[in-house]
Structure 1
Amino acid sequence: MHLEIATEPARLDRPNEDFIAASPSAVVLLDGAGTPPGSDCGCAHGVAWFVTRLGVNLLASVTNQPDRALTDCLADAITTTAALHPECDLTHPGTPSATVIAVRLTGQDLEYLVLADSTLILEHTDPTAGPVAITDDREAQVGAALRGSMDAVPTGTPAHADALRGYVEAMRAHRNQQDGFWVATADPSAAYAALTGSVPRADVTGFTMLSDGASRLVDRFHLADWTEALKLIRDHGPAALIREVRTAELSDINGQRWPRGKAHDDAAVATVTL
């Protein structure tokens, strides 16, 4: 397994809330949901603290328990992480949360778990088959009905900051609900809402994980398709994809062409060749 990673914060004065870690048999990528200024989250530690500890605990569980289902490993990691800060209000609707991708390689299979809107791309050995993108779009489906006022005003303005805070707080009512969307928080039951599956290891040449700050080149900006994005990563490394994302963001800093919650987002890419 050959692994390359790249990650970059949205801003140098704020911690990176994306996280990547790997062992010889597993790779995990998490993307923390930031808390807008003016909103409370009930946790004194913050999103980056939560994501780092959840990611470390998840990688340990996935690696050390090769026969345990990935959903169970994630549930264990959520429980272990929650126990690290019992003094915080973990029932708060804004308690820190994260998207999760986990891939584990066994002797015969590639097993995967995807929770929320980070993206896993599988590359198949069949040259006629294109890359397969796996993402959990339930959050986007819920958000589409709630983001109108945020998308209507220029990014970076006080009006946009107010609208973003309102959007995030409105989304909390749908978080980890049967008719809403699911993310990793302090409740281990969310793990069992993840998308999971496996493919024969012999059928794939590699895989790539992207946080939504990196995948936006394809799924929000539509400046490339997955085949083109993967070629850029394979030819020039994962940092090249993030550079393309930043170039696009800077060309539309006010969000007029591509309305979005943040002009820049934390971006993370992990790519593996088998």
Structure 2
Amino acid sequence: MRVAFASEPAHPDRPNEDFIAATPDAVVLLDGASIPPGVTSTCSHSVRWYSHTLGSTLLAEMTQSAGPLPELLAQGIKHVTSLHDFTCDLTHGGSPSATVIMLRQTADHLDWLVLGDSTLILDTGTPEPEVICDDRLEQVAAPHRTRLDSLLGGTPEHAEARREYVETLGTYRNRDGGFWVASTDPLAADQALTGTIPADQIRAAALLTDGAADAVSRYRLIPWRQLLDVLVQDGPSELIRQVREAERSDPQGELWSRSKTHDDATAVNVMVHG
């Protein structure tokens, strides 16, 4: 595989909570779930620490083992949990969490895993690519967004509504009827979307955190096929530039309601050799 990527924090003075890493045969992308001001966590570790520690662990596992990706994810979550379960209170659901995409190529096939609302796109050469995103968070979140979406971003009222919204979603995290992400429970790996496809059927793949996928899913700037073209022809940084341009044109969310003006954004283009 040949991999190109770009990653940009929501704000230059804040840490990027996304994580991207690759080897010639594997790619892993994580999107850490930001914790807004006013939401307390019982863990002393940052979201960035979690996404980077788990991401590094997963990439190492993928290069050392041919085991099923959900099994490797479960092992990774268990390992990272063991690094702080004696120093942090991990029983109250306030621990850092992240979405996960794992992609691995063997001699003749491509294995993939998606957990959470990051997006994987598989270009099979058909007019419409295959788009894979775990939408359980969106299904859970939609009924609770009414007040948040009615308020202008950057106001104290919007900040308070966002805090309440995030706290409400926390009660649905990693339980039946809710949504699933990587955090402290290895069983979340069993809830991931997974698949295998012959490598010679794939021309390319794209991995996107939601901050980059918003180019299509929120702002409707381009369709998925054109997004793939942008990644190949202009590079991942151009996609993020287009997203930022749209966000700056609507800083308070009057046109596109959202919980924050900008989000960490990572876009990865993978050329697959079948």
- Say whether the fold is shared (TM-score over 0.5): yes
Alignment of 1:155-234 (within 5 A): 155-234=153-232
TM-score of the superposed pair, with normalisation by structure 1: 0.97
Residue 25 of structure 1 deviates from its aligned partner by: 1.2
Q: Distance in 2 between matches of 1:91 and 1:111?
A: 33
Alignment-mate amino acid for residue 163 of structure 2 = R
> What are structure 1's unaligned runs of at least 5 residues?
none
Distance in structure 2 (CA, Å) of the matches to 1:92 and 1:18: 24
Q: Give 1:153's aligned residue.
A: 151
TM-score (norm 2): 0.97
Question: What are the Cα deviations for residues 134-189 of structure 1, in whole angstroms up to 9, with x where unaligned?
Answer: 00000001000101111110011111100000000000111111101000001000
After TM superposition, give the deviation of residue 266 of structure 1 in Å: 0.1
Contact 2:127 2:225 (C-alpha < 8 Å) held by counterparts = no
Aligned to 1:93: 93
1:129 offset after TM fit, Å?
Answer: 3.8
1:106 alignment partner in structure 2:
106
Q: Which residue of 2 aligns with 1:20?
A: 20
Instruction: Give 2:270's aligned residue.
Output: 272
Which consecutive residues of structure 2, in runs of 5 or more, have no partner in the other structure? none
Matched, 1:7 2:7: yes
What is the rounded CA distance, in whole Å, between the counterparts of 2:16 and 2:191 in structure 1? 26
Opposite residue 46 of structure 1, the aligned amino acid is: S
Structure 1 runs (4+) deviating above 4 angstroms are: none
| Equivalent-residue separation in structure 2 for 1:157 and 1:225 (angstroms) | 32
Q: Which one-letter code corresponds to 1:237 in the other structure? A: G
Corresponding residue SS for 2:122: strand
RMSD of aligned Cα (Å): 0.8
Tell me how far apart the structure 1 counterparts of residues 186 and 146 of structure 2 sit (CA, whole Å): 32
Aligned residues of 2:6 and 2:237 also touching (Cα < 8 A) = yes
- Identify which range, 19-28 or 85-94, moves more after superposition: 85-94
Q: Distance in 2 between matches of 1:79 and 1:49?
A: 15
Cross-structure match for 2:38: 38
TM-superposed deviation, 1:239: 0.2
Counterpart AA for 1:26: A
Give the distance between the partners of 2:256 and 2:162, measured in 1 at CA. Answer: 15
